[in-house]
Amino acid sequence: MKEEYLHFLWRMKYLPSRNLRLSNNQEIEILNFGEYNRNESGPDFFHAKVLIDGVIWFGSIEFHLKSSDWYQHGHQNDRAYDNVILHVVWEDDKEVFLENRLIPTLVLSKHVMSDFKNEIKIHLKSIYFLPCTYALEEVAEVHIEKEKEKIMFSRMLRKTSNLWQSEKDGFAQVLYELLATAFGAKVNKDPFWQLSKEMPIKRLLKLKNKQRAEAIIQASGLNLAFEKRAKIVPQNKFMNDWQWKRKGLNPKGFPEIRVQQFGQYIQHFDFDFGFLDLSTSDLLVYLLKTFDFKKNNSIVYSSAFKNLIIINSFVPFLWWLGEKRGEAK
């Protein structure tokens, strides 16, 4: 048995839909299995949602073959595991505590037959990783296109579902948060979102242009050699280095690079929203030009990266704004 088998069980949802119980016999229902953390450091699944004895918990899920592996791997000393809400194991050989709180433990061996691991191995080695993938070849193109539209609509809803919380701070803050999470990509979207809250756009726009990037860098808490310069952000407003993830990332995607890129972009973007009146073709040209300013030699935006930022920030922002104004088609 390997830990990756447990990940596979979880990702494919090969679990009973009812009567799941924790090691202490509490009832548990999995409301959201979370997002699989394939490469980076930290828990195995992020953004999960579970119901335990009538109480809903949001957070991360960590997997081990044995519950004692939590201590073997030193997670008790890693702040990245502070928001773990569920410990999923094959064998429960030790109680695990997080700051004197017993972490709920789900023992998969009690709910899944042990010989099922042979079937898991077959799936892991299959050329079709997802069940029924081969059947796509038999589906008419018109049905696939309809499903794509439904998926796009669902994706836009998911990306904009929490924007109402920032709407009270103005459209600039909404777009600013989307830009931040886009620069953070999948790995560091959460700390980037927190950065956009710690250093909101209203505060940045009160600063001189050349100070805005510096303020973002300082608030990030990353060691980017600004100590000898003027402190724009109070020390108690700094984030912590442990909140940023690097494992599995190309060095060009490290938070030290992305935060500098984000700071420089925000420093030059005017947030005047004049682009809302542009045609679709002119809008794309304009958005690409927002990256064309005098660059520091160490900060480079690739064409692929520019496109990703536009797709994951401006596109959902425009969709969200269209929905609010009743202009969405």
Token pair 């919380």 is found at: 165
Per-residue pLDDT tens over the stretch 110-136: 887 655 555 555 555 554 555 566 567
Non-local CB neighbours of 299 within 8 Å, separated by 6+ positions = 257, 260, 261, 264
- Residue 204: predicted pLDDT: 92
Rounded CA separation 98/101 (Å)? 5
Above pLDDT 70, what percent of the chain?
85
Structure tokens at 136: 């796509």
Q: What is the DSSP letter of 64?
A: E
Taking the mean position of all CA atoms in its chain, how far away is CA 137? 32
219-227 own/partner pairs: CB under 8 Å, 24+ apart? 219/195, 220/191, 220/195, 220/244, 220/255, 220/259, 222/255, 222/256, 222/259, 223/256, 224/256, 224/259, 224/260
Asked if pLDDT for residue 196 goes beyond 60, the answer is yes
- Residue 228: predicted pLDDT: 47
Non-local CB neighbours of 205 within 8 Å, separated by 6+ positions = 172, 212, 271
Per-residue pLDDT tens over the stretch 148-170: 888 888 888 888 877 777 777 88
Rounded CA separation 307/170 (Å)? 25
Give kind and range of the element (H or E) at residue 186.
helix 171-198
Among the residue ranges 96-105, 196-205, 227-236, the one predicted with the least confidence is 227-236
Asked if pLDDT for residue 277 goes beyond 50, the answer is yes
Asked if pLDDT for residue 297 goes beyond 80, the answer is no
Rounded CA separation 183/306 (Å)? 10
Closest CA to 217 of 252, 244, 190: 244
Q: What is the DSSP letter of 291?
A: T
Rg (CA), the chain: 23
